[in-house]
Structure 1
Amino acid sequence: MTTKSTQTKDPGTLPGEPRVETPLRIGFILREHFSMVTFTAAVDTLVTTNLITPEPVFVHFTIGTGSRTVLSDLGIEVSTGTTLDSLMANPGHVDMLIVCGGYRSQLAPEPYLLNTLRAADQKGIRLGGLWNGGVALIQAGLMEHHACALHPDNHAYVRENFPNVKVSTNAYEIEGHHATCAGPVSTLEMMLKLIGELLHNPHIVRAVREILSCDQVAEQVGPMPLNMGDDPTFPEALQTLLALMRANIEEPLSLVELAECANISRRQVERLFQNHLDTSPSRYYLELRLVHARRLLMQTNRSILNISLASGFVSSSHFSNCFKDYYGITPSEARHVRQ
């Protein structure tokens, strides 16, 4: 992969200088089927920062988990600069390691990767995760009682298997030496935040943002909420109802309970769903639980009975019937397709 030329620097464009004695080394661990657009969004912030500073402040390199070539989600093979084996044999100086995942990246633990992350954490090296790259940090036991931002497709897997991890509703999270984000857009924001923390120079962050976000409608202020598919123009009561449903999958709330929590009448609940979502509250809730169940089927090896209970169904037979009505195949068939 090529990077931008560094011959266009204009040292006089920024007040102040970054407080870095030597370039900070950032390693990107590429998992199979990693998201290319997410990875390049992260790298672009580092390269652009180097373009507007008098001297390069970042050096980035790529790491394969098992080989020197990794297949991206676009079907493009990327040659990495090193592998985990080589990195651990000759660790040298590393300031941060970022695990790059993607929509089709497998969630199965890779012991050597997890051991690498644990060793790096013990040395005080910053760690990050892009898309579902944060799952590796969780599996390594580094996110207990900490907030972790992930792609929504991975929320069910983490909540079911790592109950002590706080699955964030923000698009990115930075806690101490750990940074995680849910996708390409939040990668840009997370990296800008990290650059600000690493260089202690808001002028650089502002300049990089102006270059890379020139077509952004409005600058994001404060935490980025993770868009779960809801229209932000929905009435506040409807947004409250949708949040309640998402937070109560295993033990679904009744329509009366939902209405009481939102401080509106049952009839108002029904009217909100019909007017804005063209469906009934019960149908929407059922589909939400079925989507949750499908994610568990595809991402875990839990039994169908356990998945049905975790998705709020009283029996596996009722779950199977509802699942087939919605997806056209049984839960067993869906799991077989995954294999």
Structure 2
Amino acid sequence: MTGSKEKRSFSAKMKDANSAFLPSEGTQAEPTHVGFILQKHFSMMAFTAAVDAIVTANLVNTSPLFTYETLAIENSPIMSDLGIEISADSIINEASPLQPNIPKILIICGGFRCSTEAHPPLSMLLKTAATQGVIMGGIWNGAIALAHAGLLDKQSCAVHPDNHAFMRERFPQVTTSNQVFVSDNNRLSCAGPVSALDMMLYLIGETHGKTIVRAIKEILSCDQISESSDIRLNQIIDDPCLPEKLRDLMALMAANIEEPISAEELSEFVGISRRQTERLFQHHLETSPSRYYLELRITHARRLLLQTNDSITNIALASGFVSSSHFSNCYKDYFGVSPKLARESR
């Protein structure tokens, strides 16, 4: 008697590249609601970096992890530092401080020209949020609003260097850090646009796990500049933690998708034995060479399937599968749907 066919799962390195297309696992929790408080002249680059992180988190998961809204102080739309206006979803003022419906996470978005003065309705909102255990963060000099509300006393925070002197003079009970990003007791803060993304990735990791963060980085960090300033697209094979021989093997596989190379040929090309090849993959990637190669090809096929109008037969051949039926079976094993259904629902 033959048992039911077991569904295949991607190994860790390849799962990040495919997470958005995998079937959901178990019951999905309600999305976490995030409120972005936009101050006049807020940094558009820092704001969009933060929003991009949570939007991408939704894209790499089969169900939404976050919802978000923009909040204005007194007036909407809010003028950004680029002269581009953003219409707010809600307004914080004396009449409507949003206290009954405070988001689970509040991020105050500052900028180079943002006011450092206190705003009583905002301070009231932040104090109420603190009593409800809301996670709060400041971008650029957004942490100043948290300091005005007394929510950073005896804590550390990060702000733009231009605001260090003000923070140390005005709030001696707050430690102004020289770090670009700080997390301290449910309060997060960062100094600018690049660290805004890092802060949000840290927050996403804390609330939804490191796997989601790796999947987000797979999309958003592909053009990160290395220490050598060698500006090129980052890929798995660029991981400096992996041995050179293993990276050579992975590069050979990536360069030979349509006509896969045998395990013996791969090992011979890099000058090691097949057994050494298997040990490298198992030790560093926790998978076998054949499984990694198959997942590399099925990922390549998935991209062609969803981004082109080529026939499924041609895609199968271009991805190194001997027949469209073999490709369809492998695709369904990994993604839970046939290539035809995946394309129809793209």
Sort the TM-score into its range (normalised by shorter chain): 0.5 to 0.7
Larger-gyration structure (1/2): 2
User: For residue 24 of structure 1, what is the aligned residue in structure 2?
Assistant: 32
User: For residue 65 of structure 1, what is the aligned residue in structure 2?
Assistant: 73
User: For residue 180 of structure 2, what is the aligned residue in structure 1?
Assistant: 171
Find the aligned partners of 1:18 and 1:104 in 2 and give their Cα distance: 46
Aligned AA for 1:95?
K
Residue 109 of structure 2 corresponds to residue 100 of structure 1: yes
User: For residue 334 of structure 1, what is the aligned residue in structure 2?
Assistant: none
User: For residue 55 of structure 2, what is the aligned residue in structure 1?
Assistant: 47
Q: CA deviation at 1:90?
A: 6.3
Give the 3 Å change call, closer, same or farther, for CA 75–162 of structure 1 in structure 2: same
TM-score by length of 2: 0.57
Q: CA deviation at 1:46?
A: 0.4
1:25–1:95 Cα contact (<8 Å) kept: yes
130, 133, 150: which one pairs with 2:142? 133
User: For residue 337 of structure 1, what is the aligned residue in structure 2?
Assistant: none
User: For residue 324 of structure 2, what is the aligned residue in structure 1?
Assistant: none
Indicate the RMSD between aligned Cα atoms, in angstroms: 2.3
Unmatched tracts of structure 1, length 5 or more? 1-8, 220-339
User: For residue 274 of structure 1, what is the aligned residue in structure 2?
Assistant: none
Aligned AA for 1:126?
I
Q: Identity across aligned pairs (percent)?
A: 45
SS in 2 for 1:91: helix
Give the 3 Å change call, closer, same or farther, for CA 56–168 of structure 1 in structure 2: same
Find the aligned partners of 1:190 and 1:93 in 2 and give their Cα distance: 21
Greater relative contact order (Cα < 8 A, sep 6+): 2
Q: CA deviation at 1:107?
A: 0.5
SS in 1 for 2:197: helix
Q: C-alpha deviations, 1:98-148, integer Å up to 9, x for none?
A: 100000001011111111111111111111100000110011111011110
Find the aligned partners of 1:20 and 1:218 in 2 and give their Cα distance: 37
1:14–1:203 Cα contact (<8 Å) kept: no
Q: C-alpha deviations, 1:69-112, integer Å up to 9, x for none?
A: 10000111110101114763563352111100000001011111
Map 1:225-304 → 2, pairs under 5 A: none
Which stretch shows the higher mean deviation, 64-73 or 78-87? 78-87
Q: CA deviation at 1:68?
A: 2.3
Q: CA deviation at 1:49?
A: 0.6
Q: CA deviation at 1:18?
A: 9.7
Aligned AA for 1:190?
M
Runs of 4+ in structure 1 over 2 Å off: 9-20, 85-93
Q: C-alpha deviations, 1:273-306, integer Å up to 9, x for none?
A: xxxxxxxxxxxxxxxxxxxxxxxxxxxxxxxxxx
Which stretch shows the higher mean deviation, 14-23 or 100-109? 14-23
Aligned AA for 1:162?
F
Residue 199 of structure 2 corresponds to residue 190 of structure 1: yes
Q: C-alpha deviations, 1:161-205, integer Å up to 9, x for none?
A: 111111111101111211100000000111000000001x21210
